[in-house]
Amino acid sequence: MDTVLVTGGAGYIGSHACKALARAGFIPVTFDNLATGWAEAVNWGPLVRGDLMDRGQIDAALAEHRPVAVLHFAALSLVGQSMRDPGRYWRVNVGGAQNLLEACVAAGVRNVVLSSTCATYGDQDGVLLTEDTPQRPITAYGGSKLAIELMLRDFGAAHAINHVIFRYFNVAGADPEGELGEQHTPETHLIPLMLEAVAGKRAGLTVFGTDYPTPDGTCVRDYVHVTDLADAHVLGLQRLLAGQGNGVFCLGTGRGFSVREVIEASRIVTNREVPFVLGGRREGDAAALVCSSTRAETVLGWEPQRSSLRQMIGDAWAWAQRPGFTA
């Protein structure tokens, strides 16, 4: 069986990708410093505890496991935090990616799947985003991810590294079999925060901004189920291994939901009220981010299975109610 190195494989999206890779017949080797990931989420292959800022640790992992490809998830990913501490985002995200790509060149690893983001687009007046929309990031997080995309393009051209770049929109939900889910410390994302408030594990939710140029004044986002995203990574990897060429793909549903709509969907799914207050804007938030995934569907054959808002909230709600969970 082919081995794949998964940086950030102990994190939310990376761990779901490891499960999907194992199901597709690969051995996922997780490379993670466990700064934000969880060792107990690594269940489908070995865990290498290592840091992308340490080139020697990457070299050692590539030499030991000889992967056919690298899936690169590991990064700092909080928009608000990146505005307060941009240097850390540029150093860790861009520096880590550079170490990884240089190690891949040295070890002869020629296939890379990169986790990128809708945050590379910035604020685009609510247009439906595609792979061809100009990227104009407005945050250090988005800027650092765009830099990594450009770095990968350059390494691809100079060193024959085949690559697939996925720009994801808002990832939500949890493993339908209940083995994995979202757990960040501290939690900052809308759906898990909201469900913790519903479960009485935190006081309440603050809606960040009600004066955006959107139909109800709250931010609009395109939510996509984490297992659908994981499946896309397997398809992207298979494309590279089949020699079908590089690609950039947006992953979303083409349908945006406002924060108020997410709260209303939660009320229906959980049959409980969401305790919330209206607050001011969070720095760095774009008004609306919604994408077309037509290219992923037609070129990769990607078919989202669980990305309805109610399904995502339902799976996240099951995860939030798991035994022993304390926020």
Does residue 48 contact residue 28 with C-beta atoms inside 8 Å?
Answer: no
In the complex with ligand UDP, which residue's Cβ is closer, 5 or 288?
288
In the complex with ligand UDP, which residue's Cβ is closer, 209 or 304?
209
Three-state SS at 114: strand
Does residue 74 contact residue 96 with C-beta atoms inside 8 Å?
Answer: yes
- Tell me how many residues contact ligand UDP (CB under 6 A): 15
Active site residue 141: yes
Residues, the chain: 327
Query: Does 259 help bind ligand UDP (rule: CB under 6 A)?
Result: yes
Which of these ranges, 11-19, 43-51, 157-165, 202-210, lies near ligand UDP under the rule CB under 6 A? Answer: 202-210
Query: Does 288 help bind ligand UDP (rule: CB under 6 A)?
Result: no
Which of these ranges, 123-131, 204-212, 305-313, 314-322, lies near ligand UDP under the rule CB under 6 A? Answer: 204-212
Query: Does 226 help bind ligand UDP (rule: CB under 6 A)?
Result: no
Integer angstrom CA distances of residue 50 from 31, 33, 77? 6, 5, 18
Q: Which residue in 56, 64, 188, 303 binds ligand UDP (CB under 6 A)?
A: 188
Which of these ranges, 173-181, 183-191, 244-252, 290-298, lies near ligand UDP under the rule CB under 6 A? Answer: 183-191
Beta bridge partners of 71: 6, 113
Query: Does 6 help bind ligand UDP (rule: CB under 6 A)?
Result: no
Q: Which residues of 136-153 are buried (b: 16+ CB within 10 A; e: fewer)?
A: ebbbbbbbbbbbbbebbe
Cα–Cα distance measured from residue 104 to residue 72, given in angstroms and rounded to the nearest whole number: 12
Residue 202 has φ and ψ, to the nearest 5°, of -145, 160
Q: Which residue in 7, 15, 33, 170 binds ligand UDP (CB under 6 A)?
A: 170
**Residue of 141, 168, 212, 223 with catalytic role:** 141
Query: Does 203 help bind ligand UDP (rule: CB under 6 A)?
Result: no
Integer angstrom CA distances of residue 221 from 128, 161, 214, 267, 289? 11, 32, 11, 18, 5
Token pair of 297 as six digits: 């569907």
Interface positions with ligand UDP (CB under 6 A): 79, 170, 188-190, 193, 205-208, 219, 221, 259, 282, 285
Which residues are tagged catalytic?
141
